Homo-oligomer: A and B are copies of this chain.
Amino acid sequence: MTSKRKVGNLLGLAVLGYLVRAPMHPYELSRLMRAHGDDRSIKFTHGSLYMVFGQLAKAGFIVEHETSREGQRPERTVYALTDAGRAELKDWMRELVAEPAHEHPKFVAALSMIAALHPDEVAALLRDRLDGLRRQLAEAEAIVAGADAHPLFLVEEEYRIALLNAEVAFVRHFLERIDDWRPLWAGFHEEER
């Protein structure tokens, strides 16, 4: 069952996943995640990270391990995972892998309203989109090719590539059919000269 989690932000999952290896303070984790390119997979800003640490602590998944200070720098609070946190990590991962979630990508919203634009314009915009998709594909492929890590650690990038390829194919197919649909479509735009 997808009963509601005490901490819903996926950034919390990443925190648990990293703390299982070693206790850390938020700022250290922030650098680590950026270095690993995790910001491509998990949305996070500097500010939300501290929020999530606070939420996880309140929920009992992590505890303050120690607080230290170097020179006059601000104090650092190091957190460690609890047993409850370890359990939450496993349980959350199981749910995310086993149950495909119904999500709401922006492009889907736009497609559901697509008749609001004139078909000629849609065709031009879709060609722009194809360019953008190809750029994203090139980026992802460069990351996979350029890394010397085991493919296990880039499996999320391969997933992204698979979805991007599917979207490219869909957009091309859409472009091919647009002319056939023009008669019906035009009905919505009579008033515009």
Q: How far is the CA of A20 from the CA of B13 in the complex (A)?
A: 42
Interface size class on chain A is 35 or more
Residues of B within 8 A of A122 (CB): 97
Residues of B within 8 A of A38 (CB): 112
Residue in B96, B113, B153, B169 whose beta carbon sits within 8 Å of that of A17 in the complex: B113
Q: How far is the CA of A96 from the CA of B158 in the complex (A)?
A: 24
Chain A 68-92 per-residue mask, 1 if CB under 8 angstroms from chain B, else 0? 0000000000000000000001100
A interface residues, Cβ below 8 angstroms from B: 10, 13-14, 17, 20, 38, 40-43, 89-90, 93-94, 96-117, 121-122, 125-126, 128-129, 132-133, 136, 150-153, 155-156, 158-160, 162-163, 165-167, 169-170, 174, 177, 181, 184-185
